[in-house]
Amino acid sequence: MPDHPIASNALPLTRDSMADVARRALEVARARGASDAEVEVSAAIGQSVTVRRGEVETVEYNRDKGLGITVYLGKRRGNASTSDLSPEAVERTVEAACAIARHTAEDDAAGLPDAERLYRGEPPDLDLFHPWGLTVEEAIAIARRSEAAALAVDKRITNSEGATASSYDSDFILANSAGFLGGFASSKASVGCGVVAEDAGGMQRDYWFTSERNPARLESAESVGRTAGERAVRRLGGRRVPTGEAAVLFEAHVAGTLLGHFVSAASGASLYRRSSFLLDRLGTPVFSPAVEILEDPFQPGGMASGYFDAEGVATAKRRIVEGGVLNGWFLSSYSARKLGLATTGNAGGNHNLVVKSGEHDLAGLARLMGRGLLVTEMMGQGVNPVTGDYSRGAAGFWVEGGEIRFPVEEVTIAGNLLDMFRGIVAVGRDVLVRGSKETGSILVERMTIAGD
């Protein structure tokens, strides 16, 4: 396992010292009678600077380290954590986990992953570690440039919610009593800005941000600010529309939320608790034939890349949806055992989900839609995971004759997620990455729009 080039004065712990702490914790667990154990030791360093109206509002700095351990006494499980990694504190933490395990009920699904599923190969370079290394002064300058660009867009921008430049670097070691030991470092850099626009009709706010593993790939601070300013100004004069049914076009910026609902319903905990609208739908058409979704854990620089999951199971590239047909779940070892299935390497969540893009940009999708609502912001959490019933506040623009006519606010869009998924007409080529989701804008054939 090659070491990553982390400067000794950057993270609070080196890779070797984390591995030593992990091995020691496993030894203590065995000595205390644990039949199996799993431990994660992590270290992180971060900085976030926010500027508002040109003045520094906050400077936050964190330098963290910690240990979390899960022990198994047969089918009984206990876990504990600590930020003190001294030998005495590690022993106390392991003892606490063992004490918890002794007082919990047996669970037949509890236990380490099957040994043959653990990652055993050479670690690939996924291009995840690029420390930004900004000084506070440099971060302040970036945030100021972003905010200044936003305020310069239009004289109707009257206030700022602030601009932020942040960076976060982390490393970890995961180890278990089945002989697995591995880890990898990662970085995250981001710049964001939010502003308020005002005219005689009222005030509107909007924001924009960019986030990457490698700061060299970030949008410029000025571009982020300009986009935030333009988005705020174009929302001025927002109005409601009459209640009715129409097509809905989810801008790429918010389209990833639909993927989030899909992942939640297709995840093990929802399935074994029978609280998912996707129950018994594996191998059936869940989306329209236009939809293809790839899960790619090996995407270079991906926000959800990793060659093993949160319990050390090897990950795999999978075509989750092909021609609209659902091909796989998102399972950990525990949820897989509860369902009588095999883990999919998704302990800790989904890896990079990539929705295949189509031929149209956003303007092309609007023309294809003809008449309906372009959604650029979502509010509220009105989604029933059991039935798939969907009702959320929305704002955006009304489209008529394939062209944007006016901004829309204070409306609710409603439907059922299965109907929405099957009613996807097209996915745009205006691809945007937001966290672990990568998709263009998504056009849904018909939903209820509740307004006046």
Total domain count for the chain? 2
Say whether both 219 and 262 belong to one domain: no
Boundaries of domain holding 66: 15-233
| Relative orientation angle of helices 221-233 and 136-151, to the nearest 10 degrees | 30
Is 251 part of any domain?
Answer: yes
Q: Is the pLDDT of residue 93 over 80?
A: yes
Is 3 part of any domain?
Answer: no
Whole-number pLDDT of residue 4:
39
Q: Is the pLDDT of residue 124 over 50?
A: yes
Say whether both 287 and 183 belong to one domain: no
Say whether both 29 and 67 belong to one domain: yes
* pLDDT (average), residues 423-441: 97
Say whether both 218 and 150 belong to one domain: yes
Say whether both 138 and 177 belong to one domain: yes
Is 145 part of any domain?
Answer: yes
- Are the C-beta atoms of residues 41 and 21 closer than 8 Å to each other? yes
* pLDDT (average), residues 437-452: 96
Number of helices (H), then strands (E), belonging to the chain: the values are: 9, 19
Say whether both 226 and 355 belong to one domain: no
Q: Which helix (H) or strand (E) holds 271?
A: helix 268-272
Residue where one domain finishes, among candidates 233, 262, 296: 233
- Are the C-beta atoms of residues 67 and 92 closer than 8 Å to each other? no
Q: Which of 374, 312, 300 is nearest to 115 (CA)?
A: 312
- pLDDT digit string (tens) for 399-418? 999 999 999 999 999 999 99
Q: What is the DSSP string of 294-340?
A: EE-TT-TT-TT--SB-TTSBBP--EEEEETTEE---B--HHHHHHHT
pLDDT > 70 in the chain, percent: 98
Note the maximum CA span of the chain: 73
* pLDDT (average), residues 54-82: 97
Q: Which of 57, 38, 44 is nearest to 13 (CA)?
A: 44
- pLDDT digit string (tens) for 47-59? 999 999 999 999 9
CA distances from 149 to 52, 107, 117 (A): 13, 57, 50
Whole-number pLDDT of residue 2:
36
Is 9 part of any domain?
Answer: no
Whole-number pLDDT of residue 365:
98
Whole-number pLDDT of residue 418:
97
Q: Which residues pair with 271 in a beta bridge?
A: none
Whole-number pLDDT of residue 381:
85
Phi and psi at residue 429, to the nearest 5°: -95, 5
Say whether both 254 and 216 belong to one domain: no
* pLDDT (average), residues 141-150: 98
- pLDDT digit string (tens) for 381-390? 889 999 999 9
Residue where one domain finishes, among candidates 233, 268, 294: 233
* pLDDT (average), residues 123-149: 97
Is 2 part of any domain?
Answer: no
Rounded (10°) CA dihedral 141, 142, 145, 147: -110
Whole-number pLDDT of residue 173:
98
- Are the C-beta atoms of residues 178 and 207 closer than 8 Å to each other? no
- pLDDT digit string (tens) for 256-309? 999 999 999 999 999 999 999 999 999 999 999 999 999 999 999 999 999 999
- pLDDT digit string (tens) for 180-225? 999 999 999 999 999 999 999 899 999 999 999 999 999 999 999 9
Say whether both 392 and 446 belong to one domain: yes
**Which CATH number does the domain housing residue 175 bear?**
3.30.2290.10
Q: Is the pLDDT of residue 18 over 70?
A: yes
Binning pLDDT at 50, 70 and 90, where does residue 167 land?
Answer: very high
Say whether both 338 and 417 belong to one domain: yes
Is 7 part of any domain?
Answer: no
Is 4 part of any domain?
Answer: no
Whole-number pLDDT of residue 452:
83
Rounded CA-CA distance 415/418 in Å is 9
3-state secondary structure 194-250: EEEEEECCEEEEEEEEEEECCHHHCCCHHHHHHHHHHHHHCCCCCECCCCEEEEEEE
Whole-number pLDDT of residue 210:
98
Say whether both 194 and 321 belong to one domain: no
Instruction: Give the HSE-up count for residue 283: Cα atoms under 13 Å, Cβ half-sphere.
Output: 1
Is 6 part of any domain?
Answer: no
Say whether both 228 and 278 belong to one domain: no
Residue 230 contacts by C-beta under 8 Å, 6 or more apart in sequence? 153
Whole-number pLDDT of residue 201:
86
Residue where one domain finishes, among candidates 169, 198, 233: 233
Say if strands 437-439 and 353-355 run parallel, antiparallel, or are unpaired. parallel
Q: Which of 47, 53, 50, 59 is nearest to 150 (CA)?
A: 53
Q: Is the pLDDT of residue 3 over 50?
A: no
Residue 78 contacts by C-beta under 8 Å, 6 or more apart in sequence? 70, 71, 96, 97, 98, 99, 100, 101, 102, 103, 104
Whole-number pLDDT of residue 219:
98
Rounded CA-CA distance 153/237 in Å is 17
Say whether both 226 and 332 belong to one domain: no
Q: Which helix (H) or strand (E) holds 93?
A: helix 87-102
Whole-number pLDDT of residue 380:
87
